[in-house]
Each structure stands twice: as C-alpha cells, then as structure tokens.
Amino acid sequence: MGPISVLVLTLILPGSAVAAWVGEAIDLMGTRVSVDLWHEDARRGRELVQNVLAEYRRIDETMSTYKETSELSRVNREADSKSVAVSVELFDLVKRALNLSRTSDGAFDITYESVGYLYDFRVGRHPSQTDIEMRLDAINYRLVELDETARTIAFARPGVRINLGGIAKGYAVEHGAALLRAAGVQNAMLNAGGDTRVVGDRRGQAWVVGIRHPRLADEIVTRLPLQDEAISTSGDYERFFEEGGRRYHHIINPLTGEPTQGVLSATVIGPDATLTDGLSTSVFVLGPEDGLALIEQIPGYEAIIVDASGRLSFSTGLAAAAE
Ligand code: ADP
Ligand code: MG
C-alpha cells in the first residue's frame, strides 16, 4: 500500500490505525541508545519502542560493572571463592565471549577487566606499571570456568574480573531486533553507541550507515548501504584521555594490560550484532593484518580498518564491492 492509499484509509475510517515511523533515543550503558521502527499502527509501534528500551535497561541492569547490584558485579565479587549460579542469559553471553577469545587467539578477552578496572577515562586515571604487573596474570580467559549443568561461573584464581563492555551493546541491539521481528516488525534500526542492527530496509531504500572519521569529528570515511545486517565500530576516540603525549583509550591489549596501538578504528559488518561487536573489538586489538585475517575466516563478515597512519583496509568481500 502506497502512502496515498494509507492517507485515504485514514480519512475514511477515523480512529483506525495510522502507519508511521516511530522511535526514541535515551542515554544508557554509558552511551546513546536508540530504536526506530515502522509500524502500520503507530500506537502499537510506540509500545514496541518502549519494550525495546525496557530490554536495553534490563540488560544494562544485569551486565553493567558500574552497578553494584548487577548480576555481573556479583560474579566479580564472588567467583574467585565459589561457583556462582547465574541466569541463562549471562551464562550464554559469557560463553560466547570465551568462544570469541579462542577464535581471536586471545585478542578478545573479558578478563581484561582484571587490570581494566583501574582505568577511569572520565577522570583521566590509569594504573601504574606496578599496578599492571601485579595483576597482569589475572588477564586470561582460560581462568573463567563454566559449568554447563550447574550453570555456574567460577574464576580459577583471585584477582580475576570480567567486563562485557566489548560485546553487551551488540547483544542488546540484536536482542531488541529479535523482539521486534517476533512482533512482526519488518523495518527497524537499533543503535547502542558504536553498534547498529537494522531489520529489513528503510521501506524501499537501504539503510545507510556512515563510518566516522576517527580524528575529524564531522567527516565520514565511507558510507555503507545495509539491509538485515549489523555493523559495529570500535574506535580509540569514544572514551579516552591524553597524558604525556600518549592516548589512553578503552580497548586494552590483554598481553600488556595497556591500551592497544596501531588502529584508530575497526568496523565489522555481518548478520549478528553480538558477533560484529565482539569482532570489532577483536580486530582493533589484532591490528590491520591479523584483524583482517580473522575476518576472512568467518563467513558472512566483513571489516574496514583505519590504521594509525589513517590508511583504510577492507576485507575481500568489501574490496570487491567497492570496485
Ligand atoms: P564501544 O564501547 O565504543 O562500542 P567496543 O565495542 O570496542 O567499543 O568496546 C570497548 C569496550 O570493550 C571497552 O570499553 C571495554 O569494556 C571492553 N574491552 C576493552 N578491551 C577489551 C578486550 N581486549 N577484550 C574484550 N573486551 C574489551
Ligand atoms: Mg565491540
């Protein structure tokens, strides 16, 4: 039905549903999150928008390390002295994170938090070399023990902490997209900071997502048309401070306990936002060469990397499309 016939129906049947784009953006998870969707009944559409925002909040309440009351914070407090029983949702996401650690050869590692908790990017605080050396052994995803039957998490030694910041926003938008599809929504865009998931197209045209220039705030490196896909960007410009000519940003090399170098931004595109999120962080840590090699081995996923000298590299699927 075209826009004109929708209008006619609306005039003939007062009180009947009005089709429209509806959406909302709020501050959550330390960033801006949003959902926009098309619905034949705008009132129902607005309800669904609220349902998605409620799910974002619930995920944040479960997985935030900033909230003492979150399930994840409880794991961090207790799992070095006992096995902690957790929800299916948290268990499954931690399991996916550990799988990605294996696939990325340890570049993605949620135990980065064992040192990572000592950074505070808002106030410009970082750990000393001694602080890092004392805790570096606790960064190792193999120290996280999962018991599938009991559905528990335990840490193999004291000092281990986990943080799902590299994967939870992607999970949130993927989860939101699943909720919308189950409710019959065919066109939507869900965003949480650097992670975007689109459902369908934008009613006749592709969604277009721009990749920000990592240094020039208003410039776009490239634009990508997307349909039923996810795109995640990890950048060193989201959360950082500078000290002594050095940039301290929020993506940590698990081998050193310090911010990684060599990449300004890493973007990954693919069908699942949980994975594009985890992969963008992984590629950022791995660097252009090993990062692209990782992406090439995962079917359906593509990457764009901006390296320290501002040079762009594309995975083969995108390089072919760009020709
Ligand atoms: P953004 O949060 O800007 O979307 P990312 O998806 O790359 O960017 O997530 C960065 C977050 O990932 C950090 O804030 C931190 O919580 C977490 N993180 C940092 N280093 C690692 C790492 N080596 N492995 C897994 N997670 C990490
Ligand atoms: Mg990520």
Q: Is 112 in the pocket of ligand 1 (CB under 6 A)?
A: yes
Rounded average pLDDT over 134-153: 98
What separation in Å is there between the alpha carbon of 165 and the centre of ligand 1?
5
Domain residue limits, the chain: 1-65+166-192, 71-155, 206-323
**Paired tokens of 64:** 């935030």
Q: Which CATH superfamily does the domain covering 206-323 fall into?
A: ApbE-like domains (3.10.520.10)
Q: Return the ligand number nearest the Cα of 191.
A: 1
Check if the beta carbon of residue 169 is closer than 8 Å to that of residue 195. Answer: yes
Ligand 1: centre distance to CA 113 (Å) = 10
pLDDT tens figures, 91-133 = 999 999 999 999 999 999 999 999 999 999 999 999 999 999 9
Alpha-carbon distance of 120 to 126, in angstroms, equals 7
Residues with CB under 5 A from ligand 2 (ion): 166, 234, 277, 280-281
Measured in angstroms, how far is the CA atom of residue 251 from the centroid of ligand 1?
5
In sequence order, which residues have a C-beta less than 8 Å from that of residue 78 and are 6 or more positions away?
84
- Token pair of 84 as six digits: 């902690």
Q: Is 278 in the pocket of ligand 1 (CB under 6 A)?
A: no
pLDDT tens, residue by residue, 244-254: 989 999 999 99
Share of the chain above pLDDT 70, in %: 94
Q: Is 110 in the pocket of ligand 1 (CB under 6 A)?
A: yes
Q: Indicate the CATH number of 71-155 among 1.10.3980.10, 3.30.590.20, 3.40.50.300, 3.40.1800.10.
A: 1.10.3980.10
Mean pLDDT of 60-66: 97
Looking at the predicted structure, is the pLDDT value of residue 11 above 60?
no
Note the pLDDT of residue 217: 84
> Over 90: is that where the pLDDT of 209 sits?
yes
pLDDT band at 31 (very low <50, low <70, confident <90, very high): very high
CA of 39 to the centre of ligand 2 (A): 30
Residue 151 pLDDT exceeds 60:
yes
Instruction: Identify the pLDDT of residue 321.
Output: 67
Rounded Cα–Cα distance for residues 321 and 323 (Å)? 6
